[in-house]
Structure 1
């Protein structure tokens, strides 16, 4: 029965079901339905806020339980991800294949560079608004300007393949050795300098400039940024990528060169269950970064220190002395990193950090600096500029210990520092390894995929290193210097 009063808003009342009966000829359930639809006119009486609304405060009718915003529970999502049907490309590889690389950090950029060396085109998709690089981030604050390395602080070299790449960067003036004093700082100001003679390297104009320069000489690499690939779909032997429904091209193979929850969601319905399983086995730490600029130089006799015994602090580094060694006056820009434990306890959505959390973290980290230096609370020179940033998926805590992962059936691979450790060198070696592996596969015509699949069942082992990464050549003296006592 339909009853109408006026002709404006519609209210649908609950459906009333009668007892069903079974039709033996086709086994369909036939259910006569009676529905009451009430039409109400919009009037001053209806819109009167002082008039009682009979529906206000009542739960809308639902025949089924409410679903989560993802459509099901997190446990079900994980189960669905790992139980999805495996893709198996059988179509021939095109004569001029193109690879999509999702992520423009060190591993993704080096992968693109080495694919070009093998004659293979690629497109790098990166979310960076200010530039490429991922954790090779340099933040410049105008108008002074203030320059901060707010992610990777420096890198070392232990592998000949990476050394060859770094030598080319040195020849082009992109990197230089960092000869400033670094070491370990114990609570109370006990500083132990590093004794290693192995060189440490930094970008001449910051790490981000190094990232931007990696592809400056390429002609077969296309870069799309800022772009957040939200979906990957396989169709007719090719991968189709999209950003929030907007097509971003079709490719013969894909590379996942980033990690964390975004990569997990991307792989959730990709048809790559073995890759998804390996990615989900990865554990990542959370680390806070505090950028602080001081009007006058801090009288501290080192440029960088790994901090020991302070809950809120794992590293402190002087960006100004490191990047501009000839600058003797003016503001000093420091980067402070928290411990992973502190980051975990104070973790919030990094895209929307509450002001109260940011202030609490800043105060705790400044107090940690004073504790490490052995000076009274509140005695440290107050910075005139501060900014906190949370790296929610900062660094890996476990690794499969292999250069790359590649699923030849699905024509998809993974590269990143976490596959070999936790350093820029590890990221570069992973990108090199995957690029050469994909090139070998594509140039073989895609035959014998079982022979080219690698790393899909590798077990993970814990990573040992500092909370801000691994630096194989960094060592410290056994003796301890006098406590610091001149910080103002």
Structure 2
């Protein structure tokens, strides 16, 4: 959540009539069993009890087409007694996957590119010395699945999240505001969204975090995955999880030996959204209004703006009499029309987009052109791979032959809840696969050929309960407990 092209055919098999070329790696003796980790808590967490009947032959790779198709990795070495998982991506999906692997007694390492913290699109920017505070990606979330509700209740008890009691609604061009019902409850991070992510792993014992790290290569060898960052080794793992998407994930998977997973990832379509953070000395106004009517609003009828929220009121309430910190998010159409490489935004584009979005704020509020006060601080950021526009509608994807999986909000929708449910589902699926010993991998293949359907929602994501049921795509509850 910053807040998909429909296909009725299954993904066509990559195999044609070519005789496969099998390459067998030289096998190494199986190392002595690694010591099982211990963990505290309820034994009903179902730690892995290994099936001891394993096959003993080595790892292999099968080449289908030597030049046009990448080889499919097929691991046949036994799953070790103490398997470890490498998770690439530290957003909500990756973190939930790590947490639920730990519940099943599985160790993992989370690799994340974040310089300031974990969380991916759960981004919060704090500008000292005032400070100025902005949620510059995910703005809030709702809860519709019991399993996610249980997780949120724990966050509430830990003081990580609370209900957002402020008024939100729809703002029609010209300053016409209509509040939305207060039900279902809306949740926000107590100190912004990012601290939720940073706090989730604070009391774990079987999760290692490496950041900022940008995994650039996956290499299979002798039943394990070797991960590296620009030639620097980053460890070896018995299974891997891809918990991010976009062009970087596509590059990573392009020569990994996971053609089915790579093919599904390439079918994902993503929107682009600009985020403008702006701090004003005085409150913004709607003409004719005695008091400002909202803390957050979905903007309708304005080309450049889809959402606006007063972070100061949302996060600090009446405690702050200082500057007013606003987050303005563009429409997906505006983001697409003005898209540039997000790592290096040209000055001219930055000025054009900032001006265009502030003019959109004027238009939404019904202010005369040029009358909006000038912000004393502003920062523009492009989320080039912001939100999914299509989905296979499944909790997770897993290739048991390559011992690799995918989790992310796009597999079920475009919100924080979808990301968390996806991570949980993949964690349990991998743990079940490990527990089986890998003897019947075909039984654990999930989502490798599912078709995609368009997803509908706000330009900043889906909020179950705040939009008509006909406008959402959600997997049945039975699918969410894989």
Query: TM-score, length-normalised on structure 2?
Result: 0.81
Stretches of 4+ aligned residues off by more than 4 angstroms: 79-82
Deviation (angstroms), 1:286: 0.3
1:297 maps to 283
Matched, 1:471 2:463: yes
SS of alignment partner, residue 131 of structure 1: coil
Deviation (angstroms), 1:327: 2.4
User: Does the 8 A contact of 1:152 with 1:207 survive in 2?
Assistant: yes
Matched, 1:179 2:165: yes
1:22 maps to none
Residues 81/211 of structure 1: CA separation in 2 closer, same or farther (3 Å cut): farther
SS of alignment partner, residue 425 of structure 1: helix
Q: How far, CA to CA, are the matches of 1:428 and 1:142 in structure 2?
A: 31
Q: How far, CA to CA, are the matches of 2:69 and 2:333 in structure 1?
A: 33
Any idea what the Cα deviations from partners look like across 1:219-251, whole Å, max 9, x if unmatched? 000000000000000000100000000000000
Query: What are structure 2's unaligned runs of at least 5 residues?
Result: 1-64, 286-291, 469-482
Residues 199/311 of structure 1: CA separation in 2 closer, same or farther (3 Å cut): same
Name which of 306, 311, 315 aligns with 1:314.
Answer: 306
Deviation (angstroms), 1:297: 2.0
Matched, 1:429 2:421: yes
Matched, 1:189 2:186: no
Any idea what the Cα deviations from partners look like across 1:172-228, whole Å, max 9, x if unmatched? 111000010001111111111101421100000111100011111110000000000
Deviation (angstroms), 1:330: 1.2
Deviation (angstroms), 1:138: 0.2
Q: How far, CA to CA, are the matches of 2:203 and 2:389 in structure 1?
A: 34
User: Does the 8 A contact of 1:289 with 1:335 survive in 2?
Assistant: yes
Matched, 1:342 2:334: yes
SS of alignment partner, residue 358 of structure 1: helix
What do you get for the CA RMSD once the two structures are aligned?
A: 1.3
Matched, 1:109 2:101: no
State the structure with bigger RCO (CA 8 A, min sep 6), 1 or 2: 2
Deviation (angstroms), 1:329: 1.5
Matched, 1:455 2:443: no
Query: What are structure 1's unaligned runs of at least 5 residues?
Result: 1-78, 477-488
Alignment of 1:11-22 (within 5 A): none
User: Does the 8 A contact of 2:312 with 2:320 survive in 1?
Assistant: no
SS of alignment partner, residue 421 of structure 1: coil
Deviation (angstroms), 1:81: 9.7
Matched, 1:267 2:284: no
SS of alignment partner, residue 454 of structure 1: coil
Matched, 1:418 2:410: yes
2:48 maps to none
1:395 maps to 387
User: Does the 8 A contact of 2:269 with 2:389 survive in 1?
Assistant: yes
Matched, 1:129 2:111: no
Any idea what the Cα deviations from partners look like across 1:116-138, whole Å, max 9, x if unmatched? 00000000000000000000000
Name which of 220, 240, 246 aligns with 2:206.
Answer: 220
Q: How far, CA to CA, are the matches of 1:450 and 1:83 in structure 2?
A: 21
1:354 maps to 346
2:367 maps to 375
Matched, 1:409 2:395: no
User: Does the 8 A contact of 1:403 with 1:434 survive in 2?
Assistant: yes
